[in-house]
């Protein structure tokens, strides 16, 4: 780590204050006006603003680097070159948006040589660590066995053992960072009919997960992340939420399902899956993103904002019924053509927006319309919440939490990216990547 030559550039507090002072009066007027409108519906704008202030979503360490497709990657200027610089970017995101105090690390992409040093580096920047992510979907230099034909479900026990040990290593790193959960996503599956014995592969998955679960620290949670295709393009081992649910149930109480919005076929009713997993007590967390065709190609809320709202509608409903309900929220998206910091700021804001809109749903009225089969009015109840412009609540939440009223404007005005481009000359092999 070549750190310490010159202090890296940080966005000055005064810049954020200047930004806010130019916008504060208009925001106060808009917030007060929205407050009056919401009061007519029996809603308290102050409570909603505090709820928005409490909303948190973790950012993925890999998300601050530019992503790519299987055709090409077009690196952006000033990209972070190591985990330290990634944390600097995550700190800038949290400084302006105030909704992302935790970072989710991918090992070995962001393997810290010294976890204790990384933990205090993060703490100095007001950051902590969220779920750890293991990576057995590619080969790394020095590995004895290849994952070309699978990892935790490989036909060869020695390969499975290597993948198990990797996950245990990730847990150990996470313990030193203060993380409390491990997310396991594998690329295992088949490209040809006949290649994989479906049931035998799932048995091997369970056996490997049992070995990891046996060594899970007592206060940790294990998240199983399903995905219906890619990199395996004919079948995957943990292909859908039903399989994930069954495995989580077989494995034990501290094993929960994680829903990545991009890991379903187009048109899948994801909010219904969310409701089912809540009902069965197995919803552990989310990877948020959006997509038109597949996986994490697009930013949260950019193509299907109504779907995002409907997902949060289930989450808010569940939280009202059970105060302990608190799934882990993470962003997991590939930023190929935008500045990753801007995309992450915007995406965290989109989640917050959906959360606040879902909090506006008049649930007693909705229950009455459902009971009497008043279909149109039930639907309109949701639409009324969804079509409310809650931006003044989001902006006020940021202002009150010490962030920027318009974080993307403030980010651009700060000149952060240009400064980083000067500070961080490109290196040829950046380890940040997302598929």
Contact residues: Mn ion, CB under 5 A: 260, 287, 295-296, 332
Cβ contacts of 283 within 8 Å, gap of 6 or more: 256, 257, 259, 274, 277, 318, 327
- The residue (of 230 and 374) whose beta carbon lies closer to Mn ion is 230
Q: Do residues 122 and 129 touch, judged by C-beta distance below 8 A? A: yes
Pick between residue 79 and residue 406 the one whose CB is nearest to ligand RM4. Answer: 79
98: phi then psi, degrees, rounded to nearest 5: 60, 20
Nearer to ligand RM4, 105 or 318 (CB): 105
- Contact set for ligand RM4, span 321-360 (CB under 6 A): 332
When asked if residue 244 is in the footprint of ligand RM4 (CB under 6 A), the reply is no
Site for ligand RM4 in 171-190 (CB under 6 A): 185
Residue 140: CB minimum distance to ligand RM4, A: 14
Helix (H) or strand (E) holding 329: strand 328-331
Dist CA 263 CA 419 (whole Å): 36
Does 89 bind ligand RM4 (CB under 6 A)? Our answer is no
Give the shortest CB-90-to-Mn ion separation in angstroms: 17
Out of ligand RM4, Mn ion, none, what residue 282 binds, judged by CB under 5 to 8 A for its kind, is none
Report, in Å, the least distance between residue 257 CB and ligand RM4: 13
List the one residue from 102, 287, 353, 398 that touches ligand RM4 (CB under 6 A): 287
Distance CA 258, CA 132 (A): 13
| Closest CB to Mn ion among residues 298, 393 | 298
Terminal Cα distance for the chain, rounded: 26
Segment 93 to 152, residues that bind ligand RM4, using CB under 6 A: 106, 133
Complex with ligand RM4: residue 385 or 434, whichever CB lies closer: 434
Nearest Cα neighbor of 299 from 67, 51, 89 is 67
**By the rule CB under 6 A, 434 interacts with ligand RM4:** yes
Angle subtended by helix axes 391-400 and 13-40, to nearest 10: 140
**Distance (Å, rounded) from C-alpha 50 to C-alpha 31?**
13
**Residue in the shown chain whose Cβ atom is closest to ligand RM4:** 185
Contact flag: residue 259 with ligand RM4 (CB under 6 A): no
**H or E segment to which residue 296 belongs:** none
With CB under 6 A as the contact rule, the residue among 82, 130, 225, 297 that binds ligand RM4 is: 225
Q: Least separation, in Å, of the C-beta of 185 and Mn ion?
A: 6
Least spacing, CB of residue 435 vs Mn ion, in Å: 8
Q: Kindly state the smallest distance separating residue 293's Cβ from Mn ion, in Å.
A: 13
Distance CA(204)–CA(215), nearest Å, equals: 17
What's the closest the beta carbon of residue 60 comes to Mn ion, in angstroms?
8
Of the residues 130, 295, 314, 339, which one makes contact with ligand RM4 according to CB under 6 A? 295
Q: How far is CA 143 from the centre of its chain?
A: 29
Whichever of 35 and 285 has its CB closer to ligand RM4, that residue is 285
- DSSP state letters, 71-115: S-B-PPTT---SHHHHHHHHHHHHHHHSS--EEE-EETTT--S-H
E-state strands within 179-266: 181-184, 189-190, 221-225, 235-236, 255-260
Q: Could you tell me the CA-to-CA distances from 21 to 14, 37, 239, 344 in Å, in that order?
A: 10, 25, 50, 24
Shortest Cβ 314–Mn ion spacing (Å): 19
CB-nearer residue toward Mn ion: 45 or 257: 257
Min dist CB 92 to ligand RM4, Å, is 22
Q: Which does 133 bind (CB under 5 to 8 A by kind): ligand RM4, Mn ion, none?
A: ligand RM4
* Residue whose CB is less far from Mn ion, 295 or 406: 295
E strand or H helix at 4: none
Residues 6+ positions from 404 with CB-CB distance below 8 Å: 16, 19, 20, 96, 97, 398, 410, 411
Residues lying near ligand RM4 in the complex (CB under 6 A) are found at 106, 133, 185, 225, 227, 260, 287, 295-296, 332, 434-435
């Amino acid at each position: 780590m070549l750190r310490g030559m010159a202090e890296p550039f940080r966005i000055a507090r005064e810049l954020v204050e200047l930004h806010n002072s130019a916008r504060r009066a208009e925001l106060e007027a808009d917030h007060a006006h929205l407050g009056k409108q919401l009061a007519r519906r029996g809603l308290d704008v102050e409570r909603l603003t505090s709820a928005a202030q409490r909303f948190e979503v973790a950012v993925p360490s890999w998300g601050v680097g530019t992503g790519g497709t299987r055709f090409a990657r077009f690196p952006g200027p000033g990209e972070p070159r190591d985990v330290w610089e990634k944390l600097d970017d995550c700190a800038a995101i949290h400084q302006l948006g105030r909704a992302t105090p935790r970072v989710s690390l991918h090992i070995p992409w962001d393997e810290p040589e010294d976890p204790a040093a990384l933990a205090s580096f993060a703490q100095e920047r007001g950051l902590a660590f969220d779920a750890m992510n293991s990576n057995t979907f590619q080969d790394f230099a020095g590995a004895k066995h290849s994952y070309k034909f699978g990892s935790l479900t490989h036909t060869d026990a020695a390969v499975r053992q290597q993948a198990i040990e990797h996950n245990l290593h990730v847990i150990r790193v996470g313990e030193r960072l203060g993380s409390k959960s491990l997310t396991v996503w594998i690329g295992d599956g088949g490209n040809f009919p006949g290649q994989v014995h479906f049931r035998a592969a799932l048995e091997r998955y369970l056996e490997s997960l049992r070995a990891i679960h046996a060594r899970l620290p007592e206060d940790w949670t294990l998240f199983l992340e399903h995905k219906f295709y890619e990199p395996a393009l004919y079948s995957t081992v943990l292909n859908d939420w039903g399989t994930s649910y069954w495995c989580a149930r077989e494995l034990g109480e501290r094993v929960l399902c994680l829903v990545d919005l991009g890991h379903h076929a187009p048109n899948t009713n994801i909010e219904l899956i969310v409701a089912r997993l809540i009902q069965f007590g197995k919803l552990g967390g989310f990877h948020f993103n959006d997509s038109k065709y597949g996986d994490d190609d697009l930013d949260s809320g950019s193509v299907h904002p109504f779907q995002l709202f409907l997902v949060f509608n289930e989450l808010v409903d569940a939280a009202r019924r059970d105060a302990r309900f608190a799934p882990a929220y993470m962003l997991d998206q590939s930023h190929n053509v935008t500045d990753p910091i801007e995309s992450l700021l915007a995406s965290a804001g989109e989640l917050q927006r959906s959360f606040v809109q879902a909090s506006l749903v008049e649930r007693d009225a909705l229950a009455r319309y459902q009971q009497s089969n008043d279909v149109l009015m039930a639907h309109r109840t949701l639409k009324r919440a969804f079509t409310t412009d809650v931006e003044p609540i989001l902006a006020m939440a940021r202002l009150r939490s010490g962030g920027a009223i318009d974080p993307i404007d403030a980010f651009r005005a700060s000149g952060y990216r240009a400064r980083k481009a000067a500070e961080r000359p490109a290196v040829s092999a950046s380890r940040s990547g997302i598929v």
